[in-house]
């Protein structure tokens, strides 16, 4: 009897303590966002409420938005006008947050702010109507794209009641447009050796139902001579803004300054290096391929931009003189372009490339796994990592990153401008609603294997090589050079092993390239820009014409 009464007493105390804990940690507040009276037209887009423990020096809390950064809560809205207001609350099922929901925010004092990501309506060639953030030179970054709106940051106590913000600030363009200029892909001033190009793409404009532009940043050799023709390295990767290719001229890191000294010394191979500016509503780069959702970026680059560059700079218009390279995203792009245009380019150097074989989409086998987020061990589930440090410690998981993207861009469509979203946009089919079909449910991680089959047929580069080797293999002999770390932070070494192992089995013809991973190295190709250029120059001498040594200004290595 006494034991039973003691049990009841303990149970009551535990219940009371639990209720006190809930009362201290849960809340019931709302966030009111008001639209100023001077706003013209409609506002359509994603409202993001963010907060952090301390006020940043610049007062821009939203700059801390990241999977490991400050909490973020979002809702997509359409048709807001001057004088309107909208309220975000935990009761609203359309509000989604990371790494918690609004009623789970611990009560306390925080620096808080609103960011509004403006959406544009695109009426696509196939009749689809979709919404997303149009590029205005922000490089696919929601916190940098001009004309996005925000409120002043406030230090507030979050808990009960309503807090209010006014959406009265705007990210500035930062310069005055000259006659004929457009904001898309940015506008930059030419320098002595660095030139900036931008053209309207007829192919992309037709696809998107509006004018679309592609930009290029061009680094000329130190003693550039318009009367001489030069080979080109197309160096792929993320949004370069107004930076020169290979970080020429930048300061702040020894590697930048060492490369600039090398380029200016006269010892560098006489090669033009070009990067692309191709930001879009899905990401900071197009992935340089033809895609059901992004449009014909591959053809636009190969049939519009590169011919324009070859006509306006002293460039050799031959395959041996067109090299590709890049790291991470740029690594995948540089290999994809070589595979999809095997006779157009003369060699590729992908460094720590995005997944080359979707048996390892990072660490998910999209063909056989049922769930991207967990390994099911029957009695328990093991969550799959997305990022690790070189010593093996997990930085965040795939579920973490995807749920964060859902908070930023919404659960329904992959338009967060995040990494997992762009993969779905580039590799995936278009859904009936005009948006990319999800590879997996963003909330549960359950994989759609019909979508996975589409990925395999169209963008699994190792599967494509295996399927088409008889057809394209002869055009790829000597052209593929893969490099990565064997402790790649995003597990990208796993797919490189798959491709590298298969390439070694090729016959009739043998691929005659290399795939190397470097021990105890992370997300790296383990090669300096100087070494990369020298290796590419030697490749061009080997496979180019007899006068290649003279053209490049270097001697063949014996």
Kindly report, residue by residue over 504-518, the tens digit of the pLDDT.
999 999 999 999 999
pLDDT at position 26 is 60
Residue 332 CA: distances (Å) to CA of 274, 470, 471: 17, 22, 21
- The per-residue pLDDT for 160 is 80
DSSP assignment of 493-509: HHHHHHHHHHHTT--SS
DSSP secondary structure string for all residues of 229-290: -B-EEEEE-S--TTPPGGGTT--SSHHHHHHHHHHHTT-S---EEEEEE---SS-SS-TTSE
Alpha-carbon separation of residue 395 from 65, 161, 389, 484, 504 (angstroms): 16, 35, 7, 20, 34
Quote the DSSP letter at residue 438: P
pLDDT of residue 16: 44
Q: Strand, coil or helix: what is 298?
A: helix
Q: What is the pLDDT of residue 9?
A: 43
Low-confidence ranges of the chain (pLDDT < 50): 1-24
The sign of the CA dihedral 219, 224, 225, 228 is: negative
Whole-number pLDDT of residue 266: 87
For 444-503, how does the pLDDT look when each residue is reduced to its tens digit (9 = 90+)?
999 999 999 999 999 999 999 999 999 999 999 999 999 999 999 999 999 999 999 999
Q: Which residues contact 277 (CB under 8 A, 6 or more apart)?
A: 139, 185, 186, 198, 214, 215, 216, 217, 239, 240, 241
Per residue in 339-368, is it b (16+ CB within 10 Å) or e — as a string?
A: bbbbebbbbbbbbbbbbbbbbbbbbbebbe
Between CA 536 and CA 221 the distance in angstroms is 15
154-158 and 108-118 beta bridge pairing: antiparallel
3-state secondary structure of 372: coil
**555, two tokens:** 């001697």
- Output the pLDDT for position 275: 98
Give, to the nearest 10 degrees, the angle between helix 419-427 and helix 449-459.
70
- Write out the H or E segment, with its range, that includes residue 76: strand 72-80
Q: Assign 377 to helix, strand or coil.
A: coil
Contact of 518 with 486, CB cutoff 8 Å: yes
CA 78, CA 427: separation in Å to the nearest integer?
A: 28
CA distance 187 to 81: 30
User: Can you give the pLDDT at residue 159?
Assistant: 82
pLDDT on residue 537: 98
């Amino acid at each position: 009897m006494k034991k039973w009464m003691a049990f009841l007493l303990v149970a009551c105390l535990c219940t009371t303590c639990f209720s006190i804990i809930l009362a201290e940690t849960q809340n019931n507040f709302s966030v009111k966002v008001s639209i100023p009276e001077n706003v013209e037209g409609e506002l359509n887009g994603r409202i993001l409420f963010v907060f952090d423990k301390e006020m940043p020096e610049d007062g821009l809390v939203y700059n801390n938005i990241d999977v490991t950064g400050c909490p973020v809560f979002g809702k997509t809205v359409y048709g807001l006008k001057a004088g309107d207001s909208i309220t975000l609350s935990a009761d609203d099922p359309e509000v989604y947050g990371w790494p918690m929901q609004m009623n789970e925010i611990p009560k306390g004092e925080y620096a808080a702010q609103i960011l509004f990501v403006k959406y544009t309506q695109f009426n696509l060639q196939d009749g689809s109507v979709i919404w997303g953030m149009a590029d205005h030179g922000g490089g696919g970054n929601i916190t940098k794209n001009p004309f996005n709106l925000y409120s002043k940051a406030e230090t507030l106590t979050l808990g009960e009641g309503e807090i209010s913000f006014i959406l009265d600030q705007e990210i500035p363009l930062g310069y005055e447009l000259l006659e004929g200029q457009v904001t898309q892909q940015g506008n930059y001033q030419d320098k002595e050796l660095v030139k900036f190009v931008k053209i309207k793409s007829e192919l992309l404009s037709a696809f998107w139902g509006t004018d679309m532009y592609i930009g290029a940043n061009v680094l000329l050799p130190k003693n550039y001579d318009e009367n001489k023709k030069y080979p080109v390295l197309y160096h792929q990767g993320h949004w370069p803004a107004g930076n020169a290719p290979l970080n020429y001229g930048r300061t702040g890191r020894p590697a930048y300054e060492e490369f600039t000294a090398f380029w200016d010394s006269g010892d560098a191979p006489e090669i033009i290096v070009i990067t692309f500016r191709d930001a879009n509503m899905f990401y900071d780069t197009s992935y340089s391929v033809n895609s059901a959702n992004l449009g014909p970026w591959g053809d636009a680059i190969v049939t519009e931009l590169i011919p324009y560059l070859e006509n306006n700079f002293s460039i050799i218009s031959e395959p041996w003189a067109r090299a590709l390279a890049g790291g991470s995203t740029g690594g995948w792009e540089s290999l994809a372009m070589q595979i999809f245009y095997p006779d157009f380019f003369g060699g590729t150097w992908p460094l720590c490339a995005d997944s080359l074989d979707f048996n390892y989409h990072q660490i998910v086998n999209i063909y056989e796994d049922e769930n991207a987020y967990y390994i099911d061990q029957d009695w328990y589930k093991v969550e799959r990592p997305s990022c690790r440090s070189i010593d093996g410690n997990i930085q965040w998981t795939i579920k973490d990153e995807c749920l964060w993207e859902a908070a930023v861009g919404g659960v329904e469509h992959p338009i967060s401008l995040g990494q997992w979203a762009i993969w779905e946009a580039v590799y995936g089919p278009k859904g009936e609603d005009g948006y990319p079909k999800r590879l997996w449910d963003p909330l549960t991680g359950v994989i759609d294997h019909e979508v996975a089959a589409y990925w395999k047929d169209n963008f699994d580069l190792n599967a494509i090589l295996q399927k088409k080797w008889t057809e394209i293999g002869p055009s790829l002999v000597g052209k593929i050079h893969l490099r990565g770390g064997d402790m790649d932070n995003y597990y990208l070494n796993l797919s490189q092993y798959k491709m590298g192992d298969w390439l070694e089995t090729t016959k009739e013809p043998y691929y005659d390239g290399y795939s190397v991973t470097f021990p105890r190295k992370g997300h790296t190709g383990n090669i300096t820009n100087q070494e990369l250029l020298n290796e590419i120059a030697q490749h061009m001498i080997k496979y180019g014409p007899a006068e290649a040594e003279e053209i490049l200004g270097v001697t063949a290595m014996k």
